[in-house]
Structure 1
Amino acid sequence: MSNKTPMTVRGAEALRQELNELKTVARPKVIASIAEARAHGDLKENAEYHAAREQQSFIEGRIKDIEGKLSNAQIIDVSTVNAGGRVVFGATVDVLDLETDEEHCYQIVGEDEADIRHGRISVTSPIARALIGKSEGDEVEIQVPGGMREFEILEVRYI
């Protein structure tokens, strides 16, 4: 059993961009801030120095976190998936809430990529878990925090 974490190509690319930004911009900037604060003398009373050290600690921690996530990622290119209309990781799913008659569009992504404002839901969320394996035209009952909801899967896309 692999301990790989599923991630979309877009999610992996976003992490790589953030890592590059941290290493090439943020890290050098904070090192310069520490050097400048050191030049001001007594470090015990130097708030700029302590703030810069704290920022450096945060940046280094985030770099390690991202490197760990990327090293454990199983990157899935959804556009190459041929699931025959079935909902799989990375798929974009249009559903109809049968109670409210509202349409919703969700993409099922890794935990770190989830952003409900942009319609990206975690593969571990109740909605995603209920949709995975189902096909266009299926009706699905989903237990959500607000109670039981019933959705019809209108369309499944792999983009």
Structure 2
Amino acid sequence: MSRAFLKNESADDPVVIPARAPLPPGATNYVTLRGLALLQVELIELENERVLAQQIDSEDAERTRQLALLTGRIANLNQRIATAKVVDAREHPRDEVRFGATISLRNRATDAKQADQKLTIVGVDEADASQGRIAFTAPIARAMLGKRVGETIVLPAKQGTNALEITGINYEE
């Protein structure tokens, strides 16, 4: 059977360090205060993992592979933290969508009784669509930047376009 169909990795396989969420070329690595704190917690956890792995009294190839993986992940994370530019959303104008804003949106094509959708514009490492946190690089975030309550953004949809009205802007973290 081909190795491509096996999930087993051997200690001799090259170490592949998972990539972090990409930033567009030349883009500044904006982060919220929460986002920077999450990166710092992740770094502490990885460093603790590496210390534990180093304490294992063994020189086997799997331990070496694990240490190389952790060292690579720590290096990537240190690079991301070093390039982070913290944006304090509390300093933004309250009536305009900027980085760090939580925006309430109402789909203009659906029933008005439907609850507003809330999205928060965050850094790429903090983004989690299932939690309503979208990266500032996402098309919907770019469409909302600079808008105010009452304005509408139009996005492409499967069947034409989707018009979303901004019903609220909040900057509480």
Q: TM-score range by the shorter chain?
A: 0.7 to 0.9
- CA displacement at 1:51 relative to structure 2: 2.0
- Give the Cα separation in 1 of the matches to 2:151 and 2:68: 49
Structure 1: 5+ residue stretches without partners: 39-48
Which residue is equivalent to 2:41?
A: 17
1:81-120 matches, within 5 Å, as 81-101=91-111, 102=114, 103-120=116-133
For the 8 Å contact 2:94–2:170, the answer to whether it is kept is no
| Aligned pairs, number | 144
The equivalent position to 1:65 in structure 2, one of 53, 76, 82, is: 76
- CA displacement at 1:50 relative to structure 2: 2.1
1:12-51 matches, within 5 Å, as 12-23=36-47, 25-33=48-56, 36-38=57-59, 49-51=60-62
The equivalent position to 2:164 in structure 1, one of 135, 151, 156, is: 151
Which residue is equivalent to 1:130?
A: 143
| CA RMSD, 1 decimal | 1.8
Aligned amino acid, residue 28 of structure 1 = V
| Structure 1 length-normalised TM | 0.83
Residue identity over aligned pairs, in percent, reads: 31
Structure 2: 5+ residue stretches without partners: 1-25
> What secondary structure is seen at the aligned counterpart in 2 of 1:37?
coil
The structure carrying a bigger helix percent of its residues is: 1
For the 8 Å contact 1:15–1:66, the answer to whether it is kept is yes
Q: Map Cα deviations across residues 114-156 of structure 1 (whole Å, 9 max, x no partner).
A: 1001100011111101100100111110225775211000100
| Structure 2 length-normalised TM | 0.77
Distance 1:6 1:146, change over 3 A: farther
- Give the Cα separation in 1 of the matches to 2:160 and 2:30: 28
Aligned amino acid, residue 128 of structure 1 = A
Q: Which has the larger displacement, 146-155 or 86-95?
A: 146-155
